[in-house]
Amino acid sequence: LLGAVSAAALMISAQAAQAQCDDGETVIKFSHVVAGSGHPKGDAATMLADRVNEEMNGKACMEVFPNSTLFDDDKALEALLIGDLQLAAPSLSKFEAYTLKYRLFDLPFLFSSLQSVDTFTASEQGKGLLTVMEDVGYTGLGYWLSGLKQFSANKPLMVPSDADGLKFRVQTSDVAVAMIEAMGASAQKLAFKEVYGALQTGVVDGQENTWSNIYTQKFFEVQDGITETNHQVLAYLLVTSTEWLNGLDDDVREQFLTLVEEVTAEANGNVAAKEAENRENILKAGGEIRELSPEQRQEWVSTMKPVWEQFEGDIGKDLIDAAASSNG
Ligand code: LMR
């Protein structure tokens, strides 16, 4: 039954996508997994679609499918390669099957702020990472920032040993698994759309995510509280198929890439405020947020940072040093 329902939902979505497009327009379908609005990625996707549909009318038309309604992140990456999808923005943690370089972004306590991430991604090394998957068919068009991550669980977590024996949902990232294991806890990789149910039914005890995801997915409702660890960045790669991009008419490609660049800059500029707002929204909705003393925070850093060494070979020490130096 579930299959039939989602097949029907897919057909409705697909019709919606086509309804907007006129004959001869390049169709740009963008699938993502987060809330359609009130979230850095949801809002950025809408902003891009609005500009494409307004400024490229007659040449291109773009439709956004939020909330995993079309694909989850793994399926979206496959769909790009077979032409069922033209744009996606999975988190950088979700590319392990295609490159190990992006493990960089998952290293705990690497970036101390969103500003540092912005500085690094704008550097030569950061920009160079956009094209490391072209041999497998993907081109990165830009980095969309989301926020620093916080831990939540079904009991208070003030120091890492409070997580002893608990199970945490992680993204499809071996760095995240290593980090959770360093805390004496266990990790389970799950798709984003399964997290709320897994927390609610006790399949996992906790998770780690940004304020925007914790608020818009209502994770705080099924957790004891959230600990403000800021332990890791969540950032996305706006990604397309290299073949599709190269196949566009030159004028269409150029105009599209200009819009992408402008929207990326504008959207990234709004992220910090949106994150702060969603932190506030959690408090207003009755969620519990726990702040760490400097000593407690130091315990999280000392527990997790040794994980860097395990992945240095995959990433390269030069890249780690370059990223770390962006903290200023
Ligand atoms: C997650 O799976 O937790 C995130 O990557 C979801 C997202 O896209 O923010």
Look up tokens 């979206």; give the residue. 76
Residue 7 pLDDT class (50, 70, 90 cuts): low
pLDDT value of residue 328: 81
Residue 39 pLDDT class (50, 70, 90 cuts): very high
- Give the contacts of 312 (CB within 8 A, at least 6 positions apart): 320
Q: Is a pLDDT exceeding 70 seen at residue 259? A: yes
H helix intervals, 35-167: 40-55, 73-82, 103-106, 114-122, 124-128
pLDDT value of residue 72: 96
> Distance between CA atoms of 89 and 258, rounded to whole angstroms?
18
Report the mean per-residue pLDDT for the chain. Answer: 94
- pTM (2 decimals)? 0.93
| Nearest CA among 225, 175, 201 for reference residue 189 | 175
Q: Whose CA is nearest to atom 1 of ligand 1?
A: 192
For a substitution probing ligand 1, which of 39, 67, 73, 236 has the most ligand atoms within 8 Å of its CB?
Answer: 73
pLDDT value of residue 312: 97
> Distance between CA atoms of 106 and 103, rounded to whole angstroms?
5
- Nearest atom in ligand 1 to 91's CA: 5
